[in-house]
Amino acid sequence: MKKIAVVTGGSKGIGLAIVEKLLNQDYQVFNLDISKSDIGEFIHCDISKVPQVINAINNIIQQTQQIDVLISNAGIHFSATIENTTEDDLDKVFALNVKGAYASIKACLPTMKQQKSGSIILISSDQAIIAKQNSFAYNLSKASLASIAKTTALDYAAYNIRANAVCPGTIETPLYHKAIDNYCEKSGANKKQIHAEEAALQPLGRLGRPEEVANLVAFLASDESQFITGSLQVIDGGYTTQ
């Protein structure tokens, strides 16, 4: 019997790489996203809307009777200081990045408890470990995901449910390019130069690749990581060690 994995935001970037990796490992993968994808079993779902998330996952459970792995990946980037962050901006970031994780975990837990097994993986950020400038709301949301991983790990360890947060550094994804494009548009900077500068900031001298994050996620999803829970798994080319 195939294991069942649910991935939020699996149509692009890190999420897409995760879906592809799990499919290659013979999981049945459900991708909840607003962007259509032909990879995995796509379900249109706005992850920022709690009722939609719960309904989508309940439908998966009715179909499969199990949820083995949840990867909460859907998220948005937002650059601004606290002064330049409106209440609406903060609500938008938290609705997707944090409440989306809350809704997907809450919907999966009853089935995982009944199974007495499950692996929950939240895609956080190196910004759960360190602060970065001009990143008030995004940093706050990613630190929240790290907290969710820790509290969920403790609350559900008795059910053999593990929860971990993966904390990528700078990974070359559509989200990364969108953030760089926005910065260059506002500042007039040259994108090629900024891209080179970002790579130079990493001790390994390059940006990360989505498939590298997917490899770590697949390990945390697997039985090979059964004694790992409540952890923050940094994958950042050494950036946060500086």
What residues are annotated to the active site?
A: 138
Q: What is the dihedral of CA 232, 98, 54, 113, to 10 degrees?
A: 30
> Strand (E) positions, the chain?
4-8, 28-33, 41-44, 69-72, 118-123, 161-168, 232-235
164 and 149 Cβ atoms separated by less than 8 Å: yes
CA distance 129 to 96: 20
In whole angstroms, what separates CA 189 from the centre of its chain?
A: 29
**Sign of torsion, CA 28 16 224 156?**
negative
Distances (CA, A) of 159 to 57, 96, 109, 188: 20, 27, 10, 53
- Residue listed under structure tokens 């400038």: 133
Strand partners, 70: 6, 120
Q: How many residues does the chain have?
A: 242
CA distance 180 to 189: 10
